[in-house]
């Protein structure tokens, strides 16, 4: 079974920022009590925007479904009434969490390019910084240490950054994401 990621986008209701942030933290804490919970995080919006991205990750569909339909989550969602507007949810499995949903699949070659563009400079920097200290170690040990250090950085920081920056190209859209957001903010 593959881990499942639930990505939720919520816009803060006017004047409710601090209440909204407290409510988000409560939801993250609540999820930690459920079997199969792998982690969660909140991504703050860029300047001039009010849409937060919340990510919940579970070991499989069944454990996520148990959390989603739990009484405690339903009560938490009810407590959030009035704190946010325009909720959107998207579920992803495996690499789809980085590259979009199954309804709009990014070609594998584009995924490879995005991963390589993230991995190459980070791997190069790691080797430039730590290569002299690791050079006397056996090859297996060097590879073990570098992958232990780089895998979390790539998974949680650099590949998501690469896919966010390359989103128009990866999804085949002509308008960059930030321009769409700026246009939607201007209409409100």
pLDDT at site 102: 45
Mark whether 93 and 145 lie in a shared domain.
no
DSSP per-residue letters across 126-187: HHHHHHHHHTTS-HHHHHHHHHHHHHHHIIIIIHHHHHHHTHHHHHT-SS-HHHHHHHHHHH
Residues in the chain, pLDDT under 70: 1, 86-105, 173-188
Please report the pLDDT score of residue 187 as a whole number.
40
pLDDT of res. 48: 78
Give the C-alpha separation, 72 to 46, whole Å.
31
pLDDT for the residue 89: 67
pLDDT, residue 94, reads 54
Query: Based on the structure, what is the number of domains in the chain?
Result: 2
Same domain, 167 and 112: yes
For residue 31, give its domain range: 4-102
**Same domain, yes or no: 38 and 54:** yes
Q: Could you tell me if residue 179 is inside a domain?
A: no
Regarding whether 95 and 18 lie in a shared domain, the answer is yes
Q: Is residue 185 part of a domain?
A: no
């Amino acid at each position: 079974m593959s881990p499942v990621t639930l990505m939720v986008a919520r816009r803060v209701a006017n004047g409710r920022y601090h209440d909204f942030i407290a409510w988000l933290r409560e939801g993250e804490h609540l999820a930690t009590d459920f079997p199969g919970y792998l982690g969660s995080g909140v991504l703050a919006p860029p300047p001039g925007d009010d849409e937060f991205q919340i990510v919940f990750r579970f070991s499989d569909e069944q454990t996520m479904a148990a959390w989603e339909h739990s009484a405690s989550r339903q009560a938490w969602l009810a407590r959030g009434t009035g704190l946010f507007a325009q909720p959107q949810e998207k579920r992803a499995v495996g690499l789809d969490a980085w590259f979009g949903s199954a309804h709009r699949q990014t070609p594998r070659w584009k995924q490879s390019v995005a991963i390589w563009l993230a991995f190459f400079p980070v791997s190069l920097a790691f080797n430039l910084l730590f290569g002299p200290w690791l050079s006397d170690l056996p090859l297996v040990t060097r590879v073990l240490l570098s992958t232990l250090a780089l895998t979390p950085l790539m998974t949680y920081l650099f590949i998501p950054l690469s896919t966010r920056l390359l989103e128009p190209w990866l999804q085949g859209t002509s308008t960059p994401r930030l321009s769409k957001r700026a246009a939607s903010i201007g209409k409100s």
